[in-house]
Structure 1
Amino acid sequence: MKDKTEKDQAGAIDRITLPLFVPGDRPERFAKAMAAGADAVIVDLEDAVAPDAKERARAGLAEALAPVTGTVPVLVRINARGTPWHAGDLAACAGLPLAGLVLPKAESGADCVAVREETGLSVVALVESARGLRNAEEIAMASRRLAFGSIDFAADLGIAHERDVLLPARFALAMAARLAGQAAPIDGVTTALREEDVIADDCRHAVAMGFGGKLIIHPAQIEAARKGCAPSQGECDWARRVLSAVEGGAAAIAVDGAMVDAPVIARARRILERAAATV
């Protein structure tokens, strides 16, 4: 039974595309967050909760989650290792029916292993520091999935939070996830709440960099993010033409005047998988 539960948790995490944060000390918002249209909810005990409210949020977590459990996968972002609240967060989450835990400031594989062994829950490792990026492959091997805390990462390095500056970091995380055999990592938040074009464009950039989703901080971002993560109709049509053309089993053929072989076929399949995941 334990093995099946862990497998179910891992599968749920692999399929997440748009997880929505909700403050852990605002239980009255939990049901609304579950119904907002995101494909997972992250109850946040870290940045969204003031230090003097953390113990109260943690203590009320089980009761607050009970009425909404089972609607969408629920994760909890605990406080980082080395903080005064970390051990208490682990103890409070260990018995809850969660899909997993989000570990902020993940900087080593040992960080992830310790959380998983203490709670029995799968770990999404949030990489948001220079040390975390340096150890990204090790962290990926020890966690279920990677996520990018791009704003904290930029602050840690004292660099601009801009696409061209962050290209090496995003590429490194996509590589680390691939080497670990993980689902594609989840990209960091977009701070614009209602600028749909900005949100969608950020998501398109993340997908182009090899990411498989986006952290969402407000329900108003969900639809624009979904559009940005989804392949275009033209991409889907092309992918269907490719897969239809290879049904006969030919090793190499031409579609739309271009050669199609195994790598192109694999890309076509990924496009349709992404379309299905962002419906």
Structure 2
Amino acid sequence: MTPRSWLYVPGHRADRVAKALAAGADAVVVDLEDAVPPGEKTAARQNARRLADQGPQDRPVWVRVNDPAGPWGEADIDALAGLGLAGLRVPRCEDPDVIRQAATRAGLPLQLLLESAAGLARAAELATAHPLVAGLGLGEADLSADLRVTGDDGLAWARGWVVVAARAAGLPSPVQSVYTDVADLDGLRVSTERARAGGFVGRSVVHPRQIPVVHDVFTPTAAELTAARAVLSAAARAQEAGEVAVLDADGRFVDPAVVRRARLVLDLTAPSEPVPGGTS
């Protein structure tokens, strides 16, 4: 299943890491960067390493390291290289050479966060910098400051661009950045619905109370699942007949592009729910 929610948790707080793993998010991101004071960087890194040494958890665990071009980031990557993590989130990505070096040292999948104009400008290069690059995303707070954007609408083009850059490189659809007003669940819903419509699949969150809203938006409805099942059934009939396109029972045209969209809908189905037509 494609994760719908990615819960950040401060890495220096071992008690919160344990709670985050039980909070119901589809994935957990142990943060070694922004949420960790300078004096706690070593403790956060040690906590992340101990968690990795425990072996697989019941959900993917990623670690957001510090800037890979700085001393903290280098130490993070060296400490976590090759361990049992889903991968590393890498902030402040701007230089493909730095990403290649980080990937080679880490030996783990990397999700790259674009947080500056320089990073956005080289998004396509960064996406293809190394085979271990597993995704692109935005760090919208830092990006807004760097671009001097004064409102949310000013990031619309950047969101569209990172979707294009990721998909052009054959990477998964990007994960939307955090919604920082934790108390504003209505605003979170509106923003997340806009993100889904714009090509994002899943969202980073900073508090467990945000998880149900994000799951609700990114979990297909019963009607969407029924429609996806019908598309795959029509596609199967077309394949049996030696065709690549066919009209479904409701007279809708079904071709390979429509089938790919239907499979994405099924891939967003929660593990506890039955997936019509099997796995995608």
Please give the range of the TM-score, normalised by the shorter of the 2 chains. Answer: 0.7 to 0.9
Distance 1:43 1:180 in 2: 26
Distance 1:36 1:60 in 2: 18
192-201 or 168-177, larger mean C-alpha shift: 192-201
Gaps spanning 5+ residues in structure 2: where? 274-280
Change in 2 beyond 3 A, CA 1:248/1:57: closer
SS at match of 2:205: coil
Which residue does the alignment assign to 2:72?
85
Distance 1:124 1:39 in 2: 16
How far did 1:194 drift?
3.9
Which residue does the alignment assign to 1:22?
9
User: Are 1:238 and 2:232 matched, yes or no?
Assistant: no
How far did 1:80 drift?
0.5
Distance 1:126 1:106 in 2: 6
The answer to whether the 8 A contact 1:199-1:228 is kept is: no
The answer to whether the 8 A contact 1:150-1:161 is kept is: no
Q: What RMSD, in angstroms, separates the aligned Cα atoms of the two structures?
A: 2.3
User: Are 1:108 and 2:95 matched, yes or no?
Assistant: yes
Moved over 4 A (4+): 64-69, 276-279
- Structure 1 segment 191-202 matched on structure 2, within 5 A: 191-202=180-191
How far did 1:278 drift?
9.4
Per-residue CA deviation, residues 184-203 of structure 1 (Å, 9 max, x unaligned), is 11110011324333223322
TM-score (norm 2): 0.85
Distance 1:146 1:63 in 2: 27
Kindly provide the amino acid, as one letter, of the partner of residue 148 in structure 2. G
Higher helix share: 1
Which residue does the alignment assign to 1:220?
209
65-74 or 103-112, larger mean C-alpha shift: 65-74
The answer to whether the 8 A contact 2:230-2:248 is kept is: no
How far did 1:211 drift?
1.3
User: Are 1:275 and 2:269 matched, yes or no?
Assistant: yes
Distance 2:103 2:10 in 1: 23
Kindly provide the amino acid, as one letter, of the partner of residue 145 in structure 1. G
Change in 2 beyond 3 A, CA 1:56/1:260: closer
Gaps spanning 5+ residues in structure 1: where? 1-13
Which residue does the alignment assign to 1:3?
none
Which residue does the alignment assign to 1:152?
142
Sequence identity (%): 39
How far did 1:65 drift?
5.1
Change in 2 beyond 3 A, CA 1:205/1:50: same
TM-score (norm 1): 0.86
Distance 1:64 1:99 in 2: 12
Change in 2 beyond 3 A, CA 1:31/1:228: same
SS at match of 1:55: helix
Kindly provide the amino acid, as one letter, of the partner of residue 213 in structure 1. G
Which residue does the alignment assign to 2:200?
211
Change in 2 beyond 3 A, CA 1:72/1:260: closer
Distance 2:224 2:2 in 1: 21
Kindly provide the amino acid, as one letter, of the partner of residue 149 in structure 1. G
Distance 2:217 2:56 in 1: 28
Report how many aligned residue pairs link the two structures. Answer: 265
Give the alignment partner of residue 266 of structure 1, picking from 249, 255, 260.
260
Per-residue CA deviation, residues 242-268 of structure 1 (Å, 9 max, x unaligned), is 333343215231554543333333322
